[in-house]
Amino acid sequence: MKREDYDILIGREAAHWGVAAREGGDPQIWDDERLFEIFFGREYRRLLRRVEEHGPRVLELGCGNGGTALALAELGLHVTGIDLSPERVEAATHEALRRGLAARTEFLTGDLNLMPLPVSSFDCVVAHDALHHMLELGNLLDRVRGALVPGGRLVVMDFVGMGGLRRLVAAAMFALLPTYRSYRSKWGLRRRLVSFLTPEMRKRRAFAEGSAKLLHAESPFEEISGPSISAAIASRFRVEEFFTFCPFWYYLAPKLRLPGSWRYPVARTLHALDGAMIRIRPRAGAHIFVTASND
């Protein structure tokens, strides 16, 4: 892909995340704190603990509005966060000032696909739902390895995809079940189905060929990496901890339109179903948790 085409797409990605907010018709799991706790709370707390264990100098990849970086700063760590969106970096900086954490945080705007990272400057690098947006994943992980001190740790909690069959089932259930988005509105989303069902390698080929047809319209780098994340980490780091979780129902739980009193009991039941799927197939999760060392 030509550099000018790349610049257009990365600009679109930055613009998308700069205004990303709750969509009333299509809420996400992070829009509801109680739902996030049900499906991801245990793993997220583990993420914070692992980073705390391996700090104190931390780099966060894809820091967004600064939620994770500020939680780590409250634990006494010094955190540098990098994000593509200047609006999100500004929001994180303001929140750090408001909470009295500016002395322990720094937020920078940058394209992690391309930007250099300071060598041997961090004890721990953390990536929470960031790597699946990285086109130059291998190159980034090489730079992360160099940015860590000897024996430093990489801690990752990320989305790696559901696989073709589960995606097709999820799309069908989203279309048929009552959700916050109307059926008329869902019919209008049919053009997004191709991107939703296209696997990582096919998206990458389309990207290399200069075609954006198979990419997410608003967020072109969405899932540009996925199943390859685990192998890319394992080929560059010594993996100390690895497991998968949330194989399916996390996706539909926030979108279902249910009576208020049903919402969280149903979510806990769906999370239990996800847990049963993982017990049957431990590596079937759509999300991974990794702790790895660069020694």
pLDDT per position as a tens digit, 222-245: 999 999 999 999 999 999 999 999
Residue 147's domain is classified under what CATH number? 3.40.50.150
How many domains are contained in the chain? Answer: 1
pLDDT the model gives residue 110:
98
Please give the pLDDT value at position 20. Answer: 63
Give Cα separations from 208 to 2, 39, 166, 232 (angstroms). 9, 35, 27, 19
pLDDT of residue 216: 85
Whole-number pLDDT of residue 25: 58
Partners of 242 in the β-ladder: 290
Name the strands in the sheet holding 287-293, side by side, starting at the edge strand that comes first in the sequence: 105-109, 78-83, 57-61, 122-128, 148-159, 287-293, 238-245
Place of tokens 């967004």: 64
Whether the CB-CB separation of 133 and 225 falls below 8 Å is answered with yes
Please state the φ and ψ torsions of residue 115, each to the nearest 5 degrees. -70, 140
In which domain, by residue range, is 251 found?
3-293
Q: Are 100 and 130 in contact (CB under 8 A)?
A: no
Q: What is the pLDDT of residue 79?
A: 98
Residue 270's Cβ-count burial label (10 Å; 0-12, 13-18, 19+) is buried
Among 133, 136, 143, 160, smallest CA distance to 246 is for 160
Predicted pLDDT at 210: 80
What pLDDT score does 218 carry? 86
The pLDDT value given to residue 293: 98
| Residue ranges of the chain with per-residue pLDDT less than 70 | 20-25
Q: So what's the pLDDT on residue 22?
A: 45
